[in-house]
Structure 1
Amino acid sequence: MIADFFLKLSLPEWIVIIVAIVLAGGAFYYYHRTLPPLSSVRKYFLLVLRGILLILIFFLITEPVLKIIERHQEPPLMVVLYDNSASMSIPEKSGRRADSLLYVKNFIQSQKKKLDSLRIEEYAFAVDITPLQTDTLDFSVDGTDISNALSTIIDSLSGENLQQILLVTDGIYNRGSNPLGLLRNFHIPISTVVIGDTALPRDIAIRRVQTNQITYVNKEVPVEVTIWNNGFQGQRSVITIVKDGKEVARKIINLQQSGFEQKISLTLTPREVGDLNYTVLIQPLEDEITKKNNRQAFSVRVLKSKLKILVMSGAPNFDRHFLSFVGKQLNDYDFTFLTEKNRGQYYEANFQSVALDSQDLFIFHGFPTGISDANQVRSLFKQINQRKVPVFWFISQKTAPPALSNYQDQLPFSITSRISPMENQLAVLTQLGRLHPITQIDENETINEQLWKDLPPIEVYPQLKIPEGVQLLLVVPRTTEMPATQDNIIPVAYTYRRNGIKYFVFNGANFGNWHFQLQEDQTRESLFREFLQRTIRWLVNKDDIEQIQIKPTQKIYNVGESVVFTGQVYGNFYQPVYDATVTITLKGDSAYQVSDEMLPLGNGFYRSLFSGLPEGKFQYIIHAERNKQLIGERKGSLTVKPFFLEFQHIPANGELLRKIAYNTGGEFYFPAAFVKSFPSGSFETRTYFLTKEFFLWRFLYWLPLFILLLGTEWFFRKRWGLL
């Protein structure tokens, strides 16, 4: 409805009126006397045409703007949110919770037709929120995020006349934040309808399973299971751990006080190497409300017995002592140290007493030297070449380039001149170093960068040349004036792959200061120990010698949990490929199949996320190509286990819903009371005004009008014989 309108001109109105009168007078003067003379009717007809044309042209010169103010009435809006999570399927004395929710839903929909003045929009929510459709409510989603549902509605309908939100749920949330924390930003009443019994039912649930993520074959592993029960105090039950349908651990327990958690300790002994999947089961008891929370899956990565590491050191200096000091703290590794005394002789033991063929990693610290036994060096490189043993190089002044001259094709560096140090140099992280698992000590990028910042200085060796394909993690700029590019930096730490062998090179000495000078810095006193441990793990990990280093973040996921793939893609020289096209295909036990193209994150890292995978085992194929040239493929598997997050806490959370309603000015209802009082509260129609502007001088239809007026005038002038 148009409430008002007015015309705005660029000139004052009195000027416009005067000019219009003058133009009209000019038209009158022009046709006052004509040759040949015309009748008064014809004369005034032509006069009007000319006057209108002149006045319209001047009118448009004043840039007229027509403003129209419209008045609109917007009816009030109520949004109804229905809980679509799996907890709605919990059976109770009066029936399923879903039955109560559907009763409320059907009642609201029956009232919508009667409430012409109230607009009602309905949504279903669980982990995500969607508009309500005929088949939307299936009560199968394992997870509830009430905060996300409320925030989404507020954000998406902020411009609407939203006057009330009705939340129909059991109040159980297990995803996202506590919705009470959001209420300070809400200015809309939220009424709540509690679905389900708020009293504790008779039930046993496995709440948590904790164990070592990594262990060794034939080594006993502790497993701590946290259970909860209500109504079964003093009764007996049995907890078992199962792998591939076979029982590997069992314990008979007495259930303790109702309503409290209870910790149970079990042990298992893995008999094989690999990523092993286990399931903890607790025996169901009579009258349990549900058995879906009586099981929980977990996985353990099982390695062979302790990894053996041989450390060959060129001299008994401070750094060598520090390596031994840190090695004693790394209990998962069996270190053997040989520190050179004379040619072929060592302080700790004879070289022949060390079983080279059983070593999993070689660490060369300032070795070989100028006095090293050539036959022993040859034996070491033979093992590296034949068994693809990874090597950790610590370059120092003791490292003798002539002793390595016969092994240039097996080295991750080249040194063509005598090694001389640059002292008191500060190492800094590269862009790749911020993301690489070796130097990413903390997942928070800001915290990680602070850990590596301003470390005690070390001495570095600028004579070391790096081959193509290295991944620089730590560097020292040659001069402060020059930017830190690969052409003018000194490499300090980098990784390299060659002929199926992994290398890590640390081009520096006095790294022991990174520990001893930082002992009073609580955030960094363990930096070098963590750095050394991460480097060893990276070196001995045979999986990532492949060019496609993308895999799922874990081997077992729960139903409803997002499956995340992340990692890097490398080229032929093991350089990160940042512009590859990477696709993942997931195939389930049945005909289920889904594909996705991974999102590039920079520096060769890619990421992809899959949501809503059903229970079962999945095979994945990762395909990477660049410019339609195949880089490679990687295959693997993962498992999606039923976890039943919605059944970990059974009682309806009426207290939460009561607080939500109270804090926002809404009402709290049980279903029966709700249908008697709906709709409650005052709903007001909102009046708002909408202003529209029309720039009349910009409209193109004036041109044909001018042509029509001018053409008509001249047509009749010619027809009537005017000069």
Structure 2
Amino acid sequence: MLFIGVPVIFFFVHYVYSRTYPYVAGRIFWLLVSLRSIVFFFLLCLLIEPILEVRNKLVRKPSVLMLIDTSPSMAVSDGNESRLDEIRNFFNSDLWVSKTKEFEFHPWAFSDTVYPVSIDTLHKLKVGGRSTKLGEALEHTVSNSAEAGDIKGVLVVSDGIHNAGLNPLELAKDFLIPVFSLFPSSMSIHADLKIIEAEAQAINYSNQEAKIKVTVSGNGFAGQRSDLVVSEKGKEISRSPLEFTGQLQEVEISILPSASGTHLYRIKIVPLEGEVTHLNNEIMTSLEVKKEKVRVLLIGSRPNSDVAFLYRTLAGDSTLTVTSAIQKSAGELYTGKLDSVHFQSIDVFVLVGYDPQMWSSRMLSALEKEINNGKGLLWVAGSDGFHQASIALPSQFFPFEISNKSFLKEDVFLRISEDSFDHPIFVQGAISQGENWDEMAPLNGLFPITLSKKNAQVLIESTTGYPVFISGEYKRGKMIFALSQSFWSIDMKSRGLKASPGIVSLFWKSAVKWLGTHTNNNRLEVIAERPVYRAGMSVMFSGQFTEVDHELELKCIVGVKLDNGELVNLNLQMDGFYRGRWLKPPSGEYYYRPFATCGDNVIQGQKGRVVVDTYSVEWAELETNISLLENLTTPNGGSTFRLSAASEMFEQWDFDHYVDTEINLFRLEKNSLTLCLIVILLFIEWWLRRRLGMV
């Protein structure tokens, strides 16, 4: 419609000016007609509001994400120049400059963090960080690549060392674009001594020799000797000669800790001339030393198979010291002793049955006193039951009441109580929640009871709902009661049926160990998953509540407060544990205290300690990891090349250029320039008309 109106406007203006006095001819006539026609044209545009659309087709270069490793391992010199020097020189090469004209690179640098860099400053990159988090770098750059447009591929320039964070191989499996990698051409490390790891063997006790297994590597030093030095708090406590094989080798060193608690040791290989670095010659490790084994006293009212079974089971555990007192007749024992002084040195009492002739009122009071003071008690009913004992001891001692004095003889098939899955015996002990108790042979009966205390917890019950194992408390002490007998029998039968063999033995051991640990009610237990971390690693905290009401636990906000003022939040996981991560703490020794805010209640756990070593995890491995780069690039059609063969990689790139249409819209009625033109054109026309005497 707009273009139809143009000739109409022109002929109309021509007609008007051809009859205007005085008449004007020639160029001036046509100039005035044109000026007035243009003005009318713009006025028409203002009325009908036309839109002018201008399309431009732009051919864009293929976009490629690029990750450049700047972690400390890139500073290692494999020859005359470091790995990063070789990469920087590559970015100054003619090959690279030519490829920047063919492809649109979006570069990022990474070590323990990832950050964008300019394509013009790649030759100025510097080493930094304390670890290599290739997985996090891939995840971050790919997830933040929307502004880069249609990404055709990913280029990783790295030595392939990955030592912290997310697994890059798992992430790359989900990529829909190919991943390519370039690694430094020179890979050999001529000579390097390093300690890979050091860990304590078995359980350790004060004043007993402890073993620490140290894994070392002596690449390039085969046949040479050095010393392996162990120090604590800056004081050398051990030195052992070490001859290197040139390969990985394990060395066992002996240490004699004099005190219980956590010992932190620094283990160091005395440096030799020619090493590429001395930073990986040492490592810190911890040794948890117990004061002594858990002392257990097994008291039997008479010798029988349950007593023998319990003694064999507990005595076979290296963490327990077991003595026994078995009654022969009134006032006479087969072995051991039964007196209040001996009770004071015991951690856990294990009773099988109850005979009033064996227990005087003085000895019962001594037992009650020890349980009151925080000792543990495992009481197996045996054939005697608890009726006579419940008369002799205070009513508050037992967390149940005997509802039927006689033994209920029937087949009793077992199962874990639904409310006991979070009990420390099952969570921390050797017994898994998945053990099939219901596949075991049945017990031949039980003593029926009625629970009388809120804190009593049924651990194992019959399939018909009768309690069989009950956990309870008496003042400061913890107790477990077994309301049956002949446990040796179901253990033997279950082993024959191959149904959860040894589960009863495991239960006895876990129960005694739990009873031998001193805990408080409403206690929150949180520990660092490792006592020593290398610099650049995140510290993981995990923990749980012990003996806290489940409804109260759901209201709790759990965390860890460190002595430097930082807070780490712990979140509840599917397995019932709380876990949290302290990201990249600086080197040092830290004390922490767990806390939980549960409504109006505040619960605090015991103070703990964690050490972040000065020496970075980055120095644990320095050799180029080509296999990781190959596994990273292969699944999605990519490939791995030496930096010197980068031209071969670029030849494989057949990324399509894509056409982007740029659309520009112009609305004349909303353009102030249109009004300005109308005013200017009218002024010019008026001026000409005035000069010609037409005004």
Indicate how the Cα distance of structure 1 residues 86 and 457 shifts in structure 2: closer, same or farther if over 3 A, else same: farther
SS at 1:355 equivalent = helix
For the pair 1:88 / 2:78, whether they are aligned, the reply is: no
Indicate how the Cα distance of structure 1 residues 452 and 630 shifts in structure 2: closer, same or farther if over 3 A, else same: same
Give the counterpart of 1:209 among 174, 187, 198.
198
One-letter amino acid of the counterpart of residue 282, structure 1:
I
- The one-character-per-residue Cα deviations of 1:75-127 (angstroms, maximum 9, x if unpaired) are 53211122243322324433433333445567799959964x74332334456
User: Residues of 1 paired with 2:231 and 2:325: CA distance?
Assistant: 45
Indicate how the Cα distance of structure 1 residues 561 and 677 shifts in structure 2: closer, same or farther if over 3 A, else same: closer
For the pair 1:391 / 2:391, whether they are aligned, the reply is: no
Alignment-derived partner of residue 675 in structure 2:
none
For the pair 1:190 / 2:179, whether they are aligned, the reply is: yes
Once the 2 structures are TM-superposed, how far is the Cα of residue 210 of structure 1 from its aligned partner? 3.4
Indicate how the Cα distance of structure 1 residues 667 and 561 shifts in structure 2: closer, same or farther if over 3 A, else same: closer
Does the 8 Å CA contact 1:434/1:449 hold for their aligned counterparts? no
5+ long unaligned stretches in structure 1: 1-69, 479-488, 690-723
For the pair 1:449 / 2:425, whether they are aligned, the reply is: no
Segment of structure 1 superposing worse, 301-310 or 453-462: 453-462
One-letter amino acid of the counterpart of residue 207, structure 2:
N
- The one-character-per-residue Cα deviations of 1:228-247 (angstroms, maximum 9, x if unpaired) are 11222222200011111112
* Aligned counterparts, 1:472-487, within 5 A: 472-478=458-464
For the pair 1:554 / 2:515, whether they are aligned, the reply is: no
One-letter amino acid of the counterpart of residue 557, structure 2:
T
Indicate how the Cα distance of structure 1 residues 661 and 355 shifts in structure 2: closer, same or farther if over 3 A, else same: closer
User: Residues of 2 paired with 1:656 and 1:548: CA distance?
Assistant: 41
User: Residues of 2 paired with 1:108 and 1:413: CA distance?
Assistant: 86
One-letter amino acid of the counterpart of residue 374, structure 2:
K
Alignment-derived partner of residue 492 in structure 2:
516
For the pair 1:232 / 2:232, whether they are aligned, the reply is: no
Once the 2 structures are TM-superposed, how far is the Cα of residue 187 of structure 1 from its aligned partner? 5.9
* Aligned counterparts, 1:322-721, within 5 A: 322-352=309-339, 355-367=342-354, 372-385=359-372, 387-405=373-391, 406-415=393-402, 417-421=404-408, 423-440=410-427, 448-458=433-443, 459-478=445-464, 489-519=465-495, 524-543=500-519, 547-569=523-545, 577-588=553-564, 593-601=565-573, 605-632=577-604, 634-642=606-614, 644-654=616-626, 656-657=628-629, 665-666=637-638, 668-671=640-643, 673-674=645-646, 681-686=653-658
SS at 1:617 equivalent = strand
Does the 8 Å CA contact 1:441/1:531 hold for their aligned counterparts? no
Does the 8 Å CA contact 1:190/1:666 hold for their aligned counterparts? yes
Indicate how the Cα distance of structure 1 residues 573 and 177 shifts in structure 2: closer, same or farther if over 3 A, else same: closer
Segment of structure 1 superposing worse, 178-187 or 522-531: 178-187
Once the 2 structures are TM-superposed, how far is the Cα of residue 320 of structure 1 from its aligned partner? 1.6
Alignment-derived partner of residue 106 in structure 2:
121
5+ long unaligned stretches in structure 2: 1-55, 662-695
Does the 8 Å CA contact 2:525/2:605 hold for their aligned counterparts? no
Once the 2 structures are TM-superposed, how far is the Cα of residue 381 of structure 1 from its aligned partner? 1.8
Does the 8 Å CA contact 2:371/2:474 hold for their aligned counterparts? no
Segment of structure 1 superposing worse, 136-145 or 293-302: 136-145
- The one-character-per-residue Cα deviations of 1:48-95 (angstroms, maximum 9, x if unpaired) are xxxxxxxxxxxxxxxxxxxxxx99987532111222433223244334
Does the 8 Å CA contact 2:396/2:474 hold for their aligned counterparts? no
User: Residues of 1 paired with 2:85 and 2:160: CA distance?
Assistant: 16
Does the 8 Å CA contact 1:316/1:339 hold for their aligned counterparts? yes
Indicate how the Cα distance of structure 1 residues 243 and 546 shifts in structure 2: closer, same or farther if over 3 A, else same: farther
SS at 1:381 equivalent = helix
* Aligned counterparts, 1:24-39, within 5 A: none
Indicate how the Cα distance of structure 1 residues 108 and 656 shifts in structure 2: closer, same or farther if over 3 A, else same: farther
How many residue pairs get aligned? The number is 601
For the pair 1:171 / 2:160, whether they are aligned, the reply is: yes
One-letter amino acid of the counterpart of residue 600, structure 2:
K
Alignment-derived partner of residue 32 in structure 2:
none
For the pair 1:267 / 2:254, whether they are aligned, the reply is: yes
Does the 8 Å CA contact 1:365/1:394 hold for their aligned counterparts? yes
Alignment-derived partner of residue 59 in structure 1:
none
Once the 2 structures are TM-superposed, how far is the Cα of residue 160 of structure 1 from its aligned partner? 6.2
Segment of structure 1 superposing worse, 421-430 or 661-670: 661-670
Does the 8 Å CA contact 1:343/1:372 hold for their aligned counterparts? no
Indicate how the Cα distance of structure 1 residues 338 and 504 shifts in structure 2: closer, same or farther if over 3 A, else same: same
SS at 2:500 equivalent = coil
Alignment-derived partner of residue 246 in structure 1:
235
User: Residues of 2 paired with 1:184 and 1:395: CA distance?
Assistant: 58
- The one-character-per-residue Cα deviations of 1:624-678 (angstroms, maximum 9, x if unpaired) are 2222333345432221224533323322234554676677554544445548986
Alignment-derived partner of residue 309 in structure 1:
296
- The one-character-per-residue Cα deviations of 1:401-421 (angstroms, maximum 9, x if unpaired) are 333333233434443651533
Indicate how the Cα distance of structure 1 residues 294 and 451 shifts in structure 2: closer, same or farther if over 3 A, else same: farther
Segment of structure 1 superposing worse, 564-573 or 495-504: 564-573
SS at 1:93 equivalent = coil
Indicate how the Cα distance of structure 1 residues 362 and 171 shifts in structure 2: closer, same or farther if over 3 A, else same: same
Indicate how the Cα distance of structure 1 residues 338 and 575 shifts in structure 2: closer, same or farther if over 3 A, else same: farther
Does the 8 Å CA contact 2:192/2:219 hold for their aligned counterparts? yes
Does the 8 Å CA contact 2:298/2:322 hold for their aligned counterparts? yes
Q: State TM-score, norm by structure 2.
A: 0.75
Identity of aligned residues (%): 23
- The one-character-per-residue Cα deviations of 1:282-305 (angstroms, maximum 9, x if unpaired) are 101111111121112221211123
Alignment-derived partner of residue 100 in structure 1:
86
Segment of structure 1 superposing worse, 429-438 or 161-170: 429-438
Indicate how the Cα distance of structure 1 residues 383 and 191 shifts in structure 2: closer, same or farther if over 3 A, else same: closer
- The one-character-per-residue Cα deviations of 1:439-458 (angstroms, maximum 9, x if unpaired) are 24789x9x741444422222
- The one-character-per-residue Cα deviations of 1:251-303 (angstroms, maximum 9, x if unpaired) are 112222x2x12222221111001111112111011111111211122212111
Once the 2 structures are TM-superposed, how far is the Cα of residue 351 of structure 1 from its aligned partner? 2.4
- The one-character-per-residue Cα deviations of 1:586-638 (angstroms, maximum 9, x if unpaired) are 234xxxx4213322348975322222112111121222222233334543222
Indicate how the Cα distance of structure 1 residues 341 and 421 shifts in structure 2: closer, same or farther if over 3 A, else same: farther
Does the 8 Å CA contact 2:90/2:96 hold for their aligned counterparts? no
Alignment root-mean-square deviation, CA:
4.0
Does the 8 Å CA contact 1:344/1:376 hold for their aligned counterparts? no
User: Residues of 1 paired with 2:160 and 2:659: CA distance?
Assistant: 35
One-letter amino acid of the counterpart of residue 268, structure 1:
I
